Structure 1
Amino acid sequence: MITRRGFLKFLGGGVGGMMALGGYSFAFEPLVRLNVTRYTLTPPGWTPGLKLRVVALADIHACEPWMSASRIASICAHANTLGGDVTVLLGDYATGMNLVTRYVHSDEWSKALATLSAPLGVHAILGNHDWWEDKAAQQIGSGDTFGHRALRDVGIPVYGNQAVRLEKDGHGFWLAGLEDQLALLPGKKWNRQWMTGLDDLDGTLAQVTDNAPVILLAHEPDIFPQVPKRVSLTLSGHTHGGQVRLFGRSPVVPSRFGDRYAYGHVVENDRNIIISGGLGCSIAPIRFGSPPEIVVIDLG
């Protein structure tokens, strides 16, 4: 039989453990840790001889104290040391929560991102929070958001259902960027009950004019079942790896497919997608088992 003293020791240990766990989840993992997660693959249809390193940053969610402009600049400085041929930004620069001490303006986070550099450039798409937090864009239902303007103003091209052909060592490849799949919130004005996407997969891929491999940038991974084999690799963010991962699974994932596209490299029917765990937090400033990460992909 457990004694009162033993029970109190057990309870104290439990409380201490919970406090330590809470401190790690709220302070250390989201604020201090930064992983570099590497993938190496040669997707079907990849051009022989084309060796390409892609550095990907996702879900920055700029706000203080969790993701200040100075921290973003520090992450960018680290990304610049990773030897990427091309750097891609996978959306959600705006904060996604109210538990902040200060909102970081788009002029600040965009100037921090402007410190990124790569031989073949820095290329961006937007995420759902970049649309949701722009009330003017929500009212219009289309057009530029403050995210589009902020990135373009610092020289970073933003792809909204657009494709561009790049070249390395005489070998071409395409970057194709989708507009967000959850861009417009429900509202009476638009007679909508569900979030509406502005993505156009078919129209984007129709801009590809040769047989060079295609890398698709899509903030939400839920588009992946519709992506044709013509696309060599899809890169996504959005899920944050569930923000909490236990034993390789996430209890809650913002995807209609649940844990299927929560995190990492997924291969389905000879098609490849890599889902970044991202850098910031949304809803609540908690990360456990899903530390902030920069993703490095070596292709070929």
Structure 2
Amino acid sequence: MFSKTVKIILICICLCSYGLFIEPNVLLTKHYTIPHKLKHELTIKIVQISDTHLSHKKDIDQLRKIVTKVNKMKPDFIVFTGDLISDIRKFTYQNEVLSLLTEMKATRGKLAVYGNHDHGGYFTEQYEALLRSSDFILLKNEEKTFYVQNEKISFIGLDDYMLGNKEYTKILNSIQKDSFTIVLAHEPDIAAITKNFPINLQLSGHSHGGQLYVPFFQSMLMPPYAKKYNRGLYHLSNQFERYLVVSNGIGTTKLPFRFLTPPEIVSIELKRAH
């Protein structure tokens, strides 16, 4: 009996140590291929980063690894889907963040949206200044269109649903059906709002994959607006051929703990459907 109890305690210690010290420092790259129906045989690479939740000096080292890894991918576009810094009032490394975000390179453009932490703690204006100074296009219920071999690739960035401006109707009604339209929205369950619009791809974060993965109980661990969609790729079946990618993100909140939800960079290739 004693031996069994000791084994259980040791297993718990090992699992907790893994979740505290190992998995949060892992950095995976997850790859998805999304079909498009544009006329040309285009392959477009998008790299998504989300939920860095920078809090400590060690997080700067993690951000440096991210920049190195992303630049090696040579993406056409880099998108950041919110929650850069956990609490700006306690974070003193903004200059280092600015330098590293500036080093991040994409051949066609870098885009970003607000997450709830980017509006919280009086960070709204500082976040905007930081992103724009590092050459990111910050979209707040706005659209940015790029032309690749005369094909339209449109990014629509929605403001954070929890703390931002939720007046999405005007920008969603402006979507043109002749473009491949990508929505950047921090909270993934916004897909319930965007489902009736001609959107091809939505990129979101917010959930952290739950930070702790427990099968059958996962929705209980999810934050608001990440209950239905919370990790990985979803093929959303409706009148439009539409996909949703939810990133596990990079950082953590509340507890510096991850278990079976490793930090990830997401690499997406848009390829012509045959």
TM-score, normalised to structure 1, is 0.82
Q: What amino acid maps onto 2:172 in structure 1?
A: L
Residue of structure 1 in register with 2:253 after alignment = 282
Asked if the contact 2:82–2:118 (Cα under 8 Å) also holds between the matched residues in 1, the reply is yes
The structural deviation recorded for 1:255 is 3.0
How far apart are the structure 2 equivalents of 1:97 and 1:286? 21
Number of the residue aligned with 1:187: none
User: Where does structure 2 lack aligned partners over 5 or more consecutive residues?
Assistant: none
* Partner residue, 1:221: 188
| Pairing partner for 1:253 from 222, 236, 250 | 222
Q: Compute the displacement of 1:172 (Å).
A: 1.8
Q: Is the 8 A contact 2:86 2:253 kept in 1?
A: yes
1:54 equivalent in alignment to 2:46:
yes
* 1:117-196 correspondence runs (5 A): 117-134=105-122, 144-183=124-163
- Secondary structure (helix, strand or coil) at the match of 2:62 reads helix
Query: 111, 130, 138: which one pairs with 2:99?
Result: 111
State the match for 1:141 in structure 2: none
Aligned pairs (5 A) from 1:24-103: 24-31=18-25, 33-43=26-36, 46-64=38-56, 68-95=59-86, 103=91
Which one has the largest radius of gyration? 1
For these two proteins, the number of residue pairs brought into alignment is 266
Task: Using the aligned pairs only, state the percent identity.
Answer: 26
Q: CA deviation at 1:82?
A: 1.7
Distance 2:250 2:71 in 1: 16
Please tell me the residue identity of whatever aligns with 2:222: V
- Separation in 1 of the partners of 2:22 and 2:4? 25
Tell me the distance in 2 between the aligned counterparts of 1:212 and 1:219.
22
- Does structure 2 retain, via aligned residues, the 8 Å contact 1:73–1:113? no
Q: CA deviation at 1:225?
A: 1.1
Deviates more, 1:265-274 or 1:125-134: 265-274
2:184 alignment partner AA:
L
Q: Does 2:181 match 1:201? A: no
Q: Does 1:239 align with 2:227?
A: no
Equivalent residues of 2:175, 2:197 under 8 A apart: no
SS at match of 2:103: coil
Alpha-carbon shift at residue 10 of structure 1 (Å): 1.3
Residues 152-193 of structure 1, C-alpha deviations (whole Å, 9 max, x = no match): 12222211111011122332210110111111xxxxxxxxxx
Structure 1 residues 283 and 229: CA distance shift in structure 2, 3 A: same
Checking the alignment, whether the CA contact within 8 Å between 2:188 and 2:225 is kept in structure 1 is no
Distance 2:263 2:97 in 1: 17
- Whether the 8 Å CA contact 2:207–2:226 is kept in 1: the answer is no
- Is this contact kept in 1: 2:112–2:137, CA < 8 A? yes
**Contact 2:20 2:257 (C-alpha < 8 Å) held by counterparts:** yes
| Structure 1, gaps ≥5 residues long | 1-6, 138-143, 184-196
Q: More displaced, 89-98 or 67-76?
A: 89-98
Amino acid at match of 1:68: D
Q: What is the alpha-carbon distance in structure 1 between the residues aligned to residue 216 and residue 48 of structure 2?
A: 22
User: Contact 2:232–2:246 (CA<8 Å) still a contact in 1?
Assistant: yes
TM-score by length of 2: 0.89
- 1:9 is matched by which residue type in structure 2? S
Amino acid at match of 1:252: L
For 1:261 and 1:145, locate their aligned partners in 2 and report how far apart those are by CA, in whole Å: 29
Query: 1:193 — aligned with what?
Result: none
Confirm or deny: 8 A CA contact 1:106 1:147 kept in the other structure: no
2:244 to 273, 288, 298: 273
